[in-house]
Chains A and B, each alone.
Chain A
């Protein structure tokens, strides 16, 4: 900055044709950081014994939710080969002109998988929300 009073029309006119000063962004604080740092969040970051316990509990909840849904898949889809092995008569059954095993293997698994995924998404997000509420309360 020069000593001349800034903002006089003449000074501006002169500055225009030459290269304008490069605009710099001045960052006083990282905008990504939360606006109010909560004490509990700090505690989580600092790994106090309370925080460790809470986090461990949360991880466990998420884990068992996932395991439960995985068990649904294992007990349904995973059992199908055994069912077909021990009950070969199923192939004789036909539903709307298609053999039952083909329906059970070609169509049914896909809505089942998507449904479970959808359900898990709802559950996991709800548990995350509850955890955040608990931390921020």
Chain B
């Protein structure tokens, strides 16, 4: 991809806007209340835009289209799950969680079950999920920037995003990022909707699939290269070929066990390609596809083509439907609502905003199956949204549209990262020795920004949706049982909650470990292990239930009163916000007490 000055300009504009908005809102932020929960005064519409802006991370903006390109109909469950998670959140969690008066997940655990140990354990999991989510965002930023500006090293984009986020959060915490995230939702919606409309119009104008010589999306044939294409293979891949094809091999990777160069004919079957090889395909040649993905369009179009697919799909449904409510950065935004009713309305708006957004990446993913099938050769399908405009609309129009999607991608990296940094910094600053003063929060922010940056640079870049999918599984197996049972079941104890979190989280990590090891030693583990929620979530629930039954003496005495506060309608006035002010300095407390900013 050549240097696209439009894209550079658009990204700089997004960064500048992010900084300016954050800076302006930061001036109002002075107390711990501001930094942790934006003083709990965010109206539901703005909060909904902010929640959606934070939630639509790289996994949604780039990942969904990439997955649709690769996996077809089965990938449609990602947007459904990402959205339906909010329905579960609204039905069972939103209002009671806000009324509990907590200001973070660990604080909720302590408020409900009265245990410092449980608080500590939750803190560990919040930090872990935060890192798991944050690292791919930063890596995605690095990858995107290095694709747009050739020659820029991978770390540059990651450092840019991390620095900008840390500066914003240092300035004003939650207060600073609320407006930033709300703005970035609308930016992202525009950045994906506008190109989709234009590209669809161009696609139909060219006469659809037949007009450009592609393979129809329902035909039982592999997709075809619409132009002569050279693909550089950066990491070793195994490709599956359905129809034999001629190709030219260049570069210096091992192909099918030999270093032969020049014209090659690949028969149907699997072919291995080593890193460093360059493959040149003629116009109209069928596209070899990375193994594990559907090779022909008819299979791609059909949902659930086997028992394995069925299990994976249900596992994904479990992870996303139940995992959303356990994501610490999402819940963190819910504490900024003024009351329980507002929390519910926020979720309703979020459902609308997300539904609107997710229509577009699916269309882009399907279009990219026709126009950018070369991504299927390398498996780097996350780049589809960024490359598609240049393919469909050559010239300035393509460059401008590409710039718009690149800007949207950067907005996604920025808004998701800021939410994650705030939530991790929030729990760190009030955990252990920290007393939750603004100074503690600022130190925690630096840690929450620098550590994931280091991890992002250390670890190799993976498929962004996979690690995000895994953090959903982790959230669903740790926090979801604690939240659901904590809110609705009176007899839960902290021992049960803690054990359930350890067992659920431990199982997810174990399956991750096994699949990493199997990936290094010849792919023997079933694909199921990459999405284990179908098994781990019920086990976690069962553990919490059984252990709570066994330790029924430890049910907190205040349980009834706490439950009443969580569920009683806001108008009765039982809501009591957990005391953040007690952490603050005397000066901060007096600022809070005179109620200048109270609405």
A residues neighboring B (CB under 8 Å): 25, 32-34, 41, 44-45, 47, 51-52, 55, 58-59, 62-63, 66, 69-70, 73, 77-78, 80-82, 84-85, 88, 91, 94, 99, 101-102, 105-107, 109-111, 113-114, 116-118, 120-121, 124-125, 128-129, 131-132, 135
Check A113–B355 contact: CB distance below 8 A: yes
A34 to B86, CA, bound (A): 33
Question: Which among B84, B302, B561, B568 is the interface contact of A73 at CB below 8 angstroms?
Answer: B84
Name the interface residues of B337-361: CB closer than 8 Å to any CB of A: 341, 344-345, 347-348, 351-352, 355, 358-359
With a CB–CB cut-off of 8 A, which chain A residues contact B87? 69-70, 73, 113, 116-117
Least CB distance from B348 to A in Å reads 5
CB-based contact B301/A33 at 8 Å: no
- The answer to whether B231 has its CB under 8 Å from any CB of chain A is no
- Chain A residues lying within 8 Å of B90, measured Cβ to Cβ, are 117, 120-121
The answer for the CA separation of A102 and B366 in the assembled complex, in Å, is 11
In the complex, the answer to whether B84 meets A58 with C-beta atoms within 8 Å is no
Q: Give complex CA distance A65, B305 in Å.
A: 35
Contact among B84, B218, B341, B348 with A118 in the assembled complex (CB-CB below 8 Å):
B348
Extra 16 A-B pairs, beta carbons < 8 Å, given A34-B573, A113-B351, A129-B569: A32-B573, A45-B574, A52-B560, A55-B564, A70-B88, A73-B87, A77-B80, A77-B317, A88-B305, A102-B76, A106-B76, A106-B362, A120-B91, A121-B344, A132-B569, A135-B572
Q: Are A121 and B345 in contact (CB under 8 A)?
A: yes
Residues A84 and B304 in contact, CB atoms below 8 Å apart = yes
Query: Distance (Å) between the CB of B297 and the closest chain A CB?
Result: 11
Asked whether A101 and B352 contact (CB < 8 A) given A113-B84, A124-B95, the answer is no
Residues of A within 8 A of B347 (CB): 117
Complex Cα–Cα for A114 and B573 (A): 29
Q: Could you tell me the distance in whole angstroms from the C-beta of A112 to the nearest C-beta in chain B?
A: 9
Task: Give Cα A77 to B83, complex, Å.
Answer: 12
Least distance between A80 CB and chain B CB atoms (Å)? 8
Which residues of A are found within 8 Å of B77, using beta-carbon distances? 105
A25's nearest neighbour on chain B, judged by CB, is B594
B314 closest partner in A (C-beta): A81
Closest chain B CB from A30 CB (angstroms): 11
Report Cα–Cα, A87/B285, bound state, in Å: 33
Measured in the bound complex, the distance between the Cα atoms of B304 and A45 in whole Å is 53
Subset of 30 A-B contacts with CB under 8 Å: A44-B568, A47-B561, A55-B564, A59-B567, A63-B488, A69-B87, A70-B87, A70-B91, A84-B302, A84-B304, A88-B305, A99-B301, A101-B302, A106-B76, A106-B362, A107-B359, A109-B83, A109-B84, A114-B348, A116-B87, A117-B86, A117-B90, A117-B347, A117-B348, A120-B91, A121-B90, A121-B344, A121-B345, A129-B569, A131-B569
Interface assignment of B563: CB less than 8 Å from any CB of chain A: yes
Would you call the interface of chain B mostly helix, strand, loop, or mixed?
helix
CB distance from B580 to the nearest CB of A (A): 17
The answer on a CB contact under 8 Å between A85 and B304 is yes
1/0 contact string of B359-401 vs chain A (CB within 8 Å) = 1001000000000000000000000000000000000000000
Measured CA separation A25–B32 after assembly (Å): 23
How far is it, in angstroms, between the C-alpha of A119 and the C-alpha of B88 when the chains are bound? 14
Which of chain B's residues have a CB closer than 8 A to the CB of A118? 348
- Answer whether residue B92 sits at the interface, using C-beta atoms and an 8 A cutoff: yes
Contact indicator B344/A62 (Cβ below 8 Å): no
